[in-house]
Amino acid sequence: NEACLQLVFQALLVFLTIIETQWSSVSGMYCADMASTVYRPHSVTITEFGAVGDGVTLNTKAFQNAIFYLNSFADKGGAQLFVPAGRWLTGGFSLISHLTLSLDKDAVIIGSPHSSDWPVIDPLPSYGRGRELPGGRHQSLIFGSHLTDVIITGANGTIDGQGAIWWDWFYNNTLNYTRPHLVELMYSTNVVISNLTFKNSPFWNIHPVYCSQVIVEHITILAPLNSPNTDGINPDSSTNVCISHCYVRNGDDVVVIKSGWDEYGISFAQPSSNISISNITGETGGGAGIAIGSEMSGGISEVRAEGIRIVNSLHGIRIKTAPGRGGYVRNVYIADVSMHNVSMAIRINGNYGEHPDNNYDKNALPIISNITIENVVGVDVGVAGILEGIEGDNFSSICISNVSLSVRSRHPWNCSLIQGYSNSVTPESCEQLRTDCEETSICYDGGSSLAVGSRASIHNKPSANILLNSLLQLVSL
């Protein structure tokens, strides 16, 4: 019954919480020498520049003027712009280097409901056009390009994009340009986004693109489960990114890694790599807890995700690509995942998504290899997995181990055009994965190279299978 399932799932969460993970040294390497807070010797408050926090007065000029003034302190230790309690309506504005934007716990930065207050900028070179429409795209509410040492933080203050009107324009096909994100930073280094709540983004929430050394931590992201494309955190053609301790409830992917779109991403050739994701809780109406792609044409590698909890969602783990994407997804390690009421636990799709134009190369096939998923538990799961490669382009070295799922479907696995290995998978994995991980040393273990250590990790946790089997037997009662 429902109460029994809830108790079982709570037990699974406790079990995953106490599993001793190995990710910390890796993530520390990815985001070495970064501090989540920096002392700023100069500070101003937005009200000093005429801002009014009544939720009605448009404060775009106040934000722009304050940041222009603070630019004079960039070479003097940097500066802080403080946003006190209030409701601060604004259009899009741009940050500068060596700046902390800090929100009071009762501060709410509100995006204007008028599209004219969101400037239109050029498309990303790795996308070739706006993601939704040809041509330009609306600038994010908080934007920056070619910056270093930028912190966006607060005592859990709020950034609210008032996205409902944008979602209506999307559904009614009345958009003139691609919808804006809440935060987008381009070509920037040493970025921290922390201790904030993001609400009702018109499009994606947090989008670091062409960035390096990025920390996103202690973030809450909220949007209706049926809101279109309200992705949570989207590192895109970025390196050394650490995402941790976040709660996301939205309409699309919770965390999704990207790297450009078809021929534009191939030409731009800037991959996403060294991505650490940990301690994420998510609920999504139309996406996945952890996703890769489908825009992955610049390549994605060295991804490590652990401590992931997904509830009431469409997909748990998903890799999306298609002929024409080119690029690669390799060296991905996802472990210590719990799911409850998820329609499909694992999805790898080789024929997903549209193309930017008709100039893409149909023969540009993606390389998907060295994907390890282990230590996964799930209760009330619809389907264990659908794993589909591409004709003439089998996805290889897909390794699944220590996976125990309570599945509703009589046909829990459906696999085609893939090759890989499995060990201790319940229900039994598809035939293409029946070779035992114990017999091979090519399963990626989450380090910097292929390692036989993956075999040891499977057998160093005998208590995992004992507990999982006991809990799953309880579910069947």
d(CA 385, CA 315): 10
Tokens linked to 390: 């591409």
d(CA 100, CA 331): 34
The predicted model scores a pTM of 0.90
CATH of the domain at 417: 2.160.20.10
Predicted pLDDT at 82: 98
Left if phi > 0, otherwise alpha if psi is -120 to 50, otherwise beta: which for 173?
left
Query: pLDDT tens digit string along 21-62?
Result: 444 555 556 776 677 789 999 999 999 999 999 999 999 999
Predicted pLDDT at 7: 56
Predicted pLDDT at 458: 33
Q: For residue 314, what are the CA distances in angstroms to 3, 226, 291?
A: 22, 12, 12
d(CA 246, CA 239): 19
d(CA 362, CA 280): 36
3-state secondary structure of 403: strand
* DSSP letter string, 88-149: EEE--EE--SSEEEEE-TTEEEEE-S-GGGS-EEPPPTTTSS-SSSSS-EEPPSEEEES-EE
> What is the greatest pairwise CA distance in the chain?
69
The count of other CB atoms within 10 Å of the CB of residue 236 is: 28
d(CA 80, CA 152): 10
**Quick check: is 306 in a domain?**
yes
Angle at 454 between CA 450 and CA 457, to 5 degrees: 155
Residue 413 belongs to what H/E stretch?
strand 413-416
46-58: b or e for each residue (b if 16 or more CB lie within 10 Å)?
Answer: bbebebbbeeeeb
d(CA 47, CA 50): 5
Predicted pLDDT at 237: 99
**Quick check: is 341 in a domain?**
yes
**Quick check: is 163 in a domain?**
no
d(CA 16, CA 22): 13
Cβ within 8 Å of residue 55, ≥6 positions away: 86, 87, 88, 89, 108, 110
Instruction: For the chain, 477 residues long, give each residue's pLDDT as a single digit of tens.
Output: 555 555 555 555 544 444 444 445 555 567 766 777 899 999 999 999 999 999 999 999 999 999 999 999 999 999 999 999 999 999 999 999 999 999 999 999 999 999 999 999 999 999 999 999 999 999 999 999 999 999 999 999 999 999 999 999 999 999 999 999 999 999 999 999 999 999 999 999 999 999 999 999 999 999 999 999 999 999 999 999 999 999 999 999 999 999 999 999 999 999 999 999 999 999 999 999 999 999 999 999 999 999 999 999 999 999 999 999 999 999 999 999 999 999 999 999 999 989 999 999 999 999 999 999 999 999 999 999 999 999 999 999 999 999 999 999 999 999 999 999 999 999 999 999 977 655 556 789 887 543 333 333 333 344 344 444 444 444 444
Tokens linked to 223: 């949007």
**Quick check: is 89 in a domain?**
no
Predicted pLDDT at 442: 76
The number of folded domains in the chain is: 1
Whose CA is closest to 335, among 208, 461, 246?
461
d(CA 242, CA 50): 36
64-102: b or e for each residue (b if 16 or more CB lie within 10 Å)?
Answer: bbbbeebeebbeeebbbbbbbebbbbbbbbbbbbbbbbb
**Quick check: is 134 in a domain?**
no
Burial of residue 23 (CB within 10 Å: 0-12, 13-18, 19+) is buried
d(CA 301, CA 333): 10
- What is the residue range of 395's domain? 253-447
Predicted pLDDT at 29: 67
Tokens linked to 134: 């040809």
Cα 268 to the center of its chain, rounded Å: 21
Catalytic residue among 252, 262, 380, 445: 252
The count of other CB atoms within 10 Å of the CB of residue 401 is: 26
Predicted pLDDT at 275: 98
**Quick check: is 156 in a domain?**
no
Tokens linked to 436: 């035992």
Angle at 460 between CA 454 and CA 466, to 5 degrees: 120
The pairing of beta strand 212-222 with beta strand 300-320? unpaired
**Quick check: is 123 in a domain?**
no
d(CA 129, CA 295): 13
**Quick check: is 403 in a domain?**
yes
Is 336 in the active site?
no
Helix axes 462-476, 2-18, angle to 10 degrees: 170
